[in-house]
Amino acid sequence: MRESRPIEASVFAEARSRGLDPVIARIVAGRISDETPLDVVLDPQLQHIAPPSELTDITKAADRLQTAIRDGERIGVLTDYDADGLTSHAVITESLQRFGVSPENISHWIGHRLEDGYGISETLVDRLLESLPVPQVLISAECGSSDEVQIVRLKDAGVDVIVTDHHRVSDRGPPASAWAVVNPNRADCRYPDKAIAGCMVSWLVMSFLRQRLIDQGVLVPTTPKLGDLLDYVALGTVADCVSLGSSETNRAVVKAGLSLIAGQQTIAHKKDRPFLQLEESASHQCARVETPDEALDWSGRRSEHEQHPPNQQPPHSPLASSQHLDHTVRLNPLHRHEFVRHSSRHSHSLVIEIREPMWGGRAFPRLCRSDAQYPGV
């Protein structure tokens, strides 16, 4: 039997008095108490976000990254493969490049869903330690709080690991071998909002690092803030299903980020977000497959004839540079004949192939248009 969520009558009445639709007013009244000002729900503001300095270990993390930037050290960025992980990856990478880190000094490590799983996994660390040159500093995002075993391996190999995360920390505490562990859910962390996503933790760390670099004279005081990266944070926050009802921070960054995304639909803004260019160009460079099932089958194929370096930025990630577009949105010539044969009988499904260099040339199809039983996929 389905039960209705109880609502705060006073909140419902105030929401209706402000002109909210009855359905919206009921949703709001079912999620906040009368002790919560309605304005923090209806009009959340970035200025109310708690300062990043309240995050335990953030100063240690920033100081180590400042040293790496000053000395030209190699920095690795390691994240999960989900939306929170990839948007965290984008926030960190774009920030480091703005702070003067050469793209050649940044390596990218994203676990494979089937081969590596979540976190700083054994197989991912194997590949990282086999790479040349090995990064001297590794910053994780949205993972690492429970990965002491693998962090020990990295430390023993001379890699300083900075963990940024939002997941529950083990009862044994944060990983002792990490250089720093920035996680609002540490028992000894006084950051007030425990519901923020991993991408928001990454954004706070990078914002704190920016100010630190300004204070030390590495960056000029006019260096722009990182507010324009909140589109990534909004995407990762919504996709990770963290609470919007209990977190004013999440509501504020989602509101700000969605406004940024809405403004990026013009050609002028798309040049700064190459993945939006990819969306636009996809419809012009698609191939036909017979069924959605065949598209899924195609996604599992590997090309043994085209391998890529294991630590490059994934072309289909939010950070894919514009130089990737021409060679990313294309058909694998080795399989082109198969799609031509299918297209003579069916033309309802269109896909593009996007190669993931970190995953050994695996092809991932994406339906651009479908009039079949799975519209909008």
What pLDDT, on the 0 to 100 scale, is given for residue 235?
A: 95
Task: Quote the CA–CA distance of 14 and 106 in Å, as a whole number.
Answer: 51
Structural domains in the chain plus CATH codes: 9-39 (no CATH), 52-263 (3.90.1640.30), 276-370 (no CATH)
Backbone phi and psi for residue 156, each to the nearest 5 degrees, phi listed first: -65, -25
Q: In the numeric block, which tokens belong to residue 24?
A: 């919206």
Contacts of 125 (CB under 8 A, 6+ apart): 150, 153, 154
Query: Could you list the pLDDT tens digit for every one of the 377 residues in the chain?
Result: 678 889 999 999 999 999 999 999 999 999 888 888 898 888 999 999 999 999 999 999 999 999 999 999 999 999 999 999 999 999 999 999 999 999 999 999 999 988 899 999 999 999 999 999 999 999 999 999 999 999 999 999 999 999 999 999 999 999 999 999 999 999 999 999 999 999 999 999 999 999 999 999 999 999 999 999 999 999 999 999 999 888 999 999 999 999 998 887 655 555 566 556 655 665 455 444 344 344 334 333 333 333 344 565 554 456 554 444 333 333 333 333 333 333 333 333 333 333 333 333 333 344 444 444 433 33
What pLDDT, on the 0 to 100 scale, is given for residue 4?
A: 82
Helix (H) or strand (E) holding 66, with range, is: helix 58-71
Backbone phi and psi for residue 229, each to the nearest 5 degrees, phi listed first: -90, 5
Question: Per the omega criterion (within 30 degrees of 0), is the bond before 133 cis?
Answer: yes
Which one-letter amino acid corresponds to residue 247?
A: S
For 136-156, the three-class secondary structure string (H helix, E strand, C coil) is CEEEEECCCCCCHHHHHHHHH
Q: How are beta strands 349-356 and 362-370 bridged, if at all? A: antiparallel
Are 65 and 209 spatial neighbours (Cβ–Cβ below 8 Å)? yes
